[in-house]
Amino acid sequence: MTLIFSLNYKALSLADDKRKSQEMKETLDDLNTRVSAAREANKPKKARGLNEATAYGIATRLVAELVAGIVVGVLIGWYLDRLFDTKPWLMIIMVMLGATAGITNVMRASKQLAPKDTDNKDDEK
Amino acid sequence: MASPLDQFTVIKWADIEVAGYDISFTNSSAAMVASVVLVTLFVTLGMRKNALVPGRWQSSVEMCYEFVAKMLGDTAGPDGRKYFPFIFSLFMFVLFANLIGMLPWLHPFTFTSHIAVTFAMAAFVFIGVTLIGFITHGFKFLGFFVPHGAPWYLLLILVPIEIISYLSRPISLSVRLFANMVAGHTMLKVFGGFVVSLSALGAAGVVGAFFPLAFIVALTGLELLVACLQAYVFAMLTCLYLNDALHMH
């Protein structure tokens, strides 16, 4: 009688252990999913705050780049015109070249910034 | 009422003239000295204990160090390491200059709001970086101005464009910092003027004056962001130019 009882008990405890480990696994899995969910929830927020700050930086950077090209073109044109007495032709040419240089600079700057943006997008996914 | 641009007036504190050059000590010079002294105090006193587990102060110094080191490493690579002291000094100098200008008491002078100052810094960076380029690459550095794989007739246009684009660097570097600081401080003063002139109108005016006041509070937060951001952009672009000089991409 006692033997049966103990056997029964053993079987019960075995089943209990199995159930326990199953439960543990479930809670671990649950914890895993919750942790990764929390990480996901935190990530875009952080990135967005930083992106907005750098977006202002990028905006001022690109504008200054565009204006600086034209300014340098005007200055060189004005100086060369005074030097060779060819008003206003060299200035016209230099302003056009300066504007082109400004646009090239903007395109280069945005190309440098481009890979970072795609990285962020991948992170968010 | 005072003009919102009055805050940018340079006032001589002590007349000094050397060999015909006016090198008077002005409020601008005083702000520069204050910036240098504060940066030095911030870094040296912060690292005084040199603890393995940093306190708040030491931690903020280390954060500045790591921020600049990471920025330099990301943009210029390991070759740029030896220029770290210069970039760090430049960043901290501009950052403290911008932040000193944001102090609400003592009416401090923001010397980065003068194109003479920012252009001097940008020109120094430009000349230094160009020299580094010529020293590391010799006359091959001139190849920087010749785009690869372009036919010779296009080079007639492309080379001048490249040269203008290179020359525009100090201009864009200095104008960006200067314009941001001038615009921000002028805007703050203009809205401050609204508060004064509205509250002079009587009870209704005083109530109305709270709107520009609230705007000033928001704007001050934005200006703090701009102050840090523009110091970062200045230092980051210096790193980028350094990278171009070292590696000629």
Alpha-carbon distance of B166 to B130, in angstroms, equals 10
Instruction: Give me the interface pTM, i.e. the ipTM.
Output: 0.77
pLDDT in tens, A76-87: 999 999 999 888
Q: What is the mean pLDDT of chain B?
A: 89
How far apart are the CA of A32 and the nearest CA of chain B, in angstroms?
Answer: 31
| Phi-psi sector, B248: left (phi>0), alpha (psi -120 to 50), beta | left
Radius of gyration over alpha carbons of chain A, in Å?
34
pLDDT in tens, B208-236: 888 999 999 999 999 999 999 999 999 99
Instruction: Look at A68 and B175 and tell me if their CB atoms are within 8 Å.
Output: yes
> B95, B154, B165: best mutation site toward chain A, by most A Cβ within 10 Å?
B165
The predicted structure's pLDDT at residue A53 = 66
Instruction: Look at B176 and A61 and tell me if their CB atoms are within 8 Å.
Output: yes
Instruction: Look at A69 and B168 and tell me if their CB atoms are within 8 Å.
Output: yes
Q: Is residue B178 scored above 90 in pLDDT?
A: yes
pLDDT in tens, A27-52: 888 888 888 887 777 655 444 445 66
The predicted structure's pLDDT at residue B216 = 92
pLDDT in tens, B95-147: 999 999 888 877 788 999 999 999 999 999 999 999 999 999 888 888 888 88
How far apart are the CA of A123 and the nearest CA of chain B, in angstroms?
Answer: 19
Please enumerate in sequence order all residues whose Cβ is within 8 A of that of B160, keeping only pairs 6 or more positions apart, or say none: A97
- Chain B contact residues (CB < 8 Å to A): 157, 160-162, 164-165, 167-169, 171-173, 175-176, 179-180, 225-226, 229-230, 232-233, 237, 240
Average pLDDT of the residues in B172-196: 91
The DSSP H or E segment spanning B13 is: strand B12-14
The predicted structure's pLDDT at residue A121 = 46
Alpha-carbon distance of A63 to B206, in angstroms, equals 39
| Strongest mean pLDDT among A115-124, B41-50, B121-130 | B121-130
Q: Is residue B85 scored above 50 in pLDDT?
A: yes
Under a CB-based contact definition with an 8 Å cutoff, are residues B169 and B241 in contact? yes
